[in-house]
A and B are shown apart, each in its own frame.
Chain A
Amino acid sequence: MSDSEQQQLDAALDLLRRTDPRNVASNLALICRMNQPIAEELLSTVDQPLQVNTDLDNNKKYLCCDYNRDGDSYRSPHSNKYFPAIDDPIEISDKIRQLEVTLNAAFDTYRELYFEGGLSSCYLWDQEDGDNFAGVVLLQKVMKQSQWDSIHVLEVESVSGKEYSYKLSSTVILDIGHNSTKLGGSLTRQAEKKANVFEPQDHIANIGAFVEEMENRMRALLHEVYFGKTRDIIGDIRSIENLKEVRADEERKREIASGLGSRQAL
């Protein structure tokens, strides 16, 4: 990517951070149409609400993102096949596929416990270096006027012996609203931790606990920003109470307090 393309990409990312997050999908498509050289890089960088596809082998739904995409087809975590079918698809190793199957099952349990419904799909893929691999955990819940999408991207690297490092970049996209009040947006956070692996399945528990911890943290953050921060900002702009009266009250209190102070000094 040339320097000028990098600048255009930065401008596109900046624009998507400023324009209404509820329109991220259409704005992203619009920018890609206006500037095709940066389109591919932009599509793989920007998180947007997850698409749902159907695995025609077993009629099960699954979530799609750039990580399980090959051309216009998406790999299903259920059958490991691409829909629509493609010739010569990218394949993952048996070892990684086995882990992927277990990870999907474990996150089914997680999803039921925290979301009581919705969809979850996990994808893993091999990295060039030996035991290293990467993956993504996707979760989605759609309600009448609200939608939650979480995208947890993972990089797992062998450090030494039994020790592995887990790098996590998580984005939650949350649209929520009723009547004339609409809140939409996304937050992204990164974290890294190390943990031991004695047998391959330990990766599942390590990843599971790490994603759970991160998602709980992000839910708390969303709570604070969506319902606390926004209200504080509105309250800062306009006060329901009369500020002149508030200031006069404070002045009176100060006078009383200083009056008491001088009396005590006596």
Chain B
Amino acid sequence: MADIASLLGDAPPGEIDAVKQDILEITQKSNSVEKALEIQAGKSNVEQLRLVTVAGKQTVVSEFNHIEENYFYTHGSKPVKFEINHLSRETKVDGDYDKEVSSKVLEIQSEIEEYLEAHYCAESVGCVFGDDDKQHVVIIGRKLSPQNFFNGQTTAVYTVANDNVDGTIKADVHYFEEGNVRLKSSNNISAKVTRSVMKTIASEESQFENMLNQSLRALNDTEFKQIRRQLPVTRQPVDWVQAIAGYNVGKDLGNR
């Protein structure tokens, strides 16, 4: 059961509930699969930095805002403690989170919000956690459009410490109109902070996006052209009558 439950971890952006329903249906809702799904959901929600809604506001679940067991806290200046049901990703507020938020964290949080407004689509979310010495930045950019048969997400996670930004950015796109196409790309980022954390991240992420566009162009120009031609070298479609006749001549010769 753990094997099939692990497919939950690879659900495309915005499709995790559909994947869960499918797994339940295939295994006829056995108790052991529900248990396996619960364990898997707890693991993958944190690993994949999944979004949840707490008191009407979106935040991520991650190792950075984990308190204990199923308890996490929200980002921002007035953090709230909440409990998550990992399988349904429903949350329940459990009062204010009483630890004071570091001023450095709040400073980067407001920079990130400004950055999201300038470069990301509306559904995107940015969260900063940490303390005065070390901050963790999570940026989830997402565009879900199942009615147009696609869902896409970028997931970036950075650690800011000693004037360095280190982390990873990943892109995951699912296109599924009469098919199933998936793009995955990732890149490690390590940069010295210049001017501000936000400007450093912005420049690194633009580089990643340029690199991704370049890779796609290169794949189109080389691999795709080599794997199957658009037209034969002759620039003419196949002459099927000749293709058959040519074969028949060969066969006659062979029979002689």
Contact = CB atoms under 8 A, between A and B. Distances in A.
22 contacts: A18-B11, A18-B15, A31-B4, A102-B247, A114-B228, A143-B226, A148-B227, A176-B224, A181-B215, A183-B182, A183-B183, A185-B182, A209-B237, A209-B238, A227-B217, A229-B175, A230-B181, A233-B152, A235-B209, A237-B120, A238-B124, A243-B119
B127 to A, nearest CB: 16
B254 to A, nearest CB: 12
Given A227-B216, A234-B209, A237-B124, A115 B228 contact: yes
Contact of A15 (B7, B175, B183, B223): B7
Contact of A182 (B120, B153, B185, B209): B185
Contacts of A185: 175, 179-182
A120 to B, nearest CB: 12
A251 to B, nearest CB: 15
Interface stretch (A49-57, A76-84, A152-160, A186-194): A186-194
Given A7-B25, A8-B26, A181 B212 contact: yes
A109 B121 contact: no
Nearest to A171: B179
The 5 closest A-B pairs by CB, nearest first: A185-B181, A11-B25, A187-B179, A113-B232, A105-B247
Contacts of A17: 176, 179-180
A231 interface: yes
Interface string B218-256: 111001101111111110011011011011101000000
B69 interface: no
Interface in B135-178: 141-143, 150, 152-154, 171, 173-176, 178
Contacts of B181: 21, 183-187, 225-226, 230
A231 B216 CA distance: 8
Q: Which residue among B26, B216, B218, B231 has the maximum number of chain A CB atoms within 10 Å of its CB? A: B26
Interface stretch (B16-24, B41-49, B57-65, B75-83): B16-24
A115 to B, nearest CB: 6
B205 interface: yes
A34 B7 CA distance: 13
B227 A204 contact: no
B53 interface: no
Contact of B22 (A12, A106, A237): A12
Interface residues of A, number: 81
Contacts of B250: 105
A128 interface: no
A17 to B, nearest CB: 5
Contact of A205 (B180, B230, B233, B240): B240
Given A116-B229, A229-B175, A15 B220 contact: no
Contacts of A116: 229
B27 interface: yes
A102 B244 contact: yes
A231 B247 CA distance: 44
Contacts of B212: 181, 231, 234
A34 B30 CA distance: 11
Contacts of B21: 11
B119 A242 contact: yes
A44 interface: no
A204 B184 CA distance: 40
B210 interface: yes
Most buried by A among B18, B176, B228: B228
A236 B143 contact: yes
A116 B26 CA distance: 42
A186 B223 contact: no
Contact of A223 (B153, B183, B224): B224
